Amino acid sequence: MILKVIVLALIGTLVAGLLKQVKPEISIVAVIVTGLIIIWTILGEIVTIKTTFSKLFESSNVEGIFSAVMKIVGIGYLTEYASSVCEDYGTSSLAKKVQLAGKVCIFAMSTSAVTTIMSAITKLV
Amino acid sequence: MSDGVEIIFKIAGIGILTAVINNILEKSDKKEIATLTTIAGLLIVFAMVVSMMSGLFKELKTIFNLY
């Protein structure tokens, strides 16, 4: 499975390098598409991880926290993906904007996680 | 070779094709049609990518329940 990702990444860089001379605009699209395909290949793994963990957390009452953590992981991953693509093609200012937006979203998400944690703790005491 | 790689090669093909058509049109001094073909090639590629992207991000949204 990891081999597939490696092959895809190498082919993607080759195609992007080739297209850079011939048609620079389409090389950007090639890089974005390879990124998407890599995400698509690892989607199955993410789903299995999520189901096993959610089954684990089903029993305890901290279900809210797990979904918040998954959300934070998702936001972190997607913003990292977008900002690295932006940085690749020179628009590093956009990359920084995306990272800032990701931080703000994660911070907003963490407030709800903190409240659920607090409610869980107060229930325990 | 999953279907993922085919998409990459398709995009590469379209890119090279538009470049070649561009050169031919420029040699036969039809500059304005050359720019049109470039734009057409780009549009085709973007259309293909956008539909793929929206499907993938919808799936990601359901997985990470990001709303």
pLDDT one-digit tens code per residue, B17-38 = 999 999 999 899 888 889 998 9
Cβ distance of B15 and A19 shorter than 8 Å:
yes
Q: Looking at beta carbons, which residues of chain A come within 8 Å of B35?
A: none
B59 in A contact zone (CB under 8 Å): yes
Question: Helix (H, G, I), strand (E, B), or coil: what is residue B30?
Answer: coil
Cβ distance of A33 and B63 shorter than 8 Å:
no
Q: What ipTM was predicted for this assembly?
A: 0.81
CA max distance for chain A: 67
Q: Which of A33, A47, A53 to mutate to test the interface with B (most CBs of B within 10 A)?
A: A33
Which segments within chain B are labelled E, that is strand?
none
pTM confidence score: 0.80
Structural domain tally of chain B? 1
